[in-house]
């Protein structure tokens, strides 16, 4: 972990402090997570914008093939999803289990994010367990997510 990773987790944006510790915006933890991955946990837009403007790779993957967009799908914050997509995040990238952002959003019942992803052209492909995002939503009792898929 670098100081930048630790700063991101404080969720307190202080530009001078961040600038002082910005040696490698794409540095990774022992599990391959970048500061941008970690910034999606609390969803501080100032931090996310700062990292992207400093060259953070929005499609960076960790050791499980997970992107910052995948992590952001757990939060239910559509503003973060839109920000990452605008910055070039690939909505179709699967993790090592074949789960796309739609699968992640379905698992966490993030129905608003599912709507955004579908509007941006995300396709409900099957993962490595041969499950569509709708099936993932059903297996997790994610009823709001199921309704979005069924209304399409």
Which of the four pLDDT bands, split at 50, 70 and 90, describes residue 10?
confident
For residue 32, give the 3-state DSSP assignment: coil
Question: Which of 94, 104, 90, 86 shows the shortest CA–CA distance to 48?
Answer: 86
Q: What is the pLDDT of residue 135?
A: 97
Which of the four pLDDT bands, split at 50, 70 and 90, describes residue 74?
confident
Write out the DSSP string of 53-115.
Answer: HTT--TT---TTS--HHHHHTTTT-HHHHHHHHHTT--TT---TTS--HHHHHHHTT-HHHHH
Q: What is the CATH number of the domain that holds 46?
A: 1.25.40.20
What tens digit of pLDDT does each residue of 13-56 get?
Answer: 888 888 888 778 999 999 999 999 999 988 899 999 999 999 99
What tens digit of pLDDT does each residue of 76-110 get?
Answer: 889 999 999 999 999 999 999 999 999 999 999 99
Domain enclosing residue 10, as ranges = 3-150
Q: What is the pLDDT of residue 21?
A: 82
Which of the four pLDDT bands, split at 50, 70 and 90, describes residue 144?
very high
* 136/142 Cα distance (integer angstroms): 8
- The whole-model pTM stands at 0.92
Question: Which of 79, 60, 82, 74 shows the shortest CA–CA distance to 102?
Answer: 74
* 74/122 Cα distance (integer angstroms): 17
Domain count, the chain: 1
Instruction: Give the whole-number percent of the chain exceeding pLDDT 90.
Output: 78
SS percent in the chain: helix, strand, coil, step 5: 50, 0, 50
């Amino acid at each position: 972990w670098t100081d930048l990773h630790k700063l991101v987790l404080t969720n307190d944006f202080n530009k001078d402090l961040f600038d002082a510790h910005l040696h490698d915006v794409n540095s990774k933890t022992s599990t391959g997570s970048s500061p941008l991955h970690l910034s999606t946990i609390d969803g501080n837009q100032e931090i996310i914008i700062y990292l992207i403007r400093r060259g953070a790779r929005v499609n960076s993957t960790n050791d499980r093939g997970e992107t910052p967009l995948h992590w952001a799908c757990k939060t239910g914050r559509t503003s973060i999803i839109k920000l990452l997509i605008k910055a070039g995040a690939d909505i179709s990238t699967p993790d090592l289990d074949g789960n796309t952002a739609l699968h992640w959003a379905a698992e966490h019942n993030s129905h608003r994010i599912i709507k955004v992803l579908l509007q941006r052209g995300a396709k409900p492909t099957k993962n490595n367990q041969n499950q569509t995002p709708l099936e993932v939503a059903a297996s997790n009792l994610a009823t709001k997510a199921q309704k979005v898929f069924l209304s399409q």
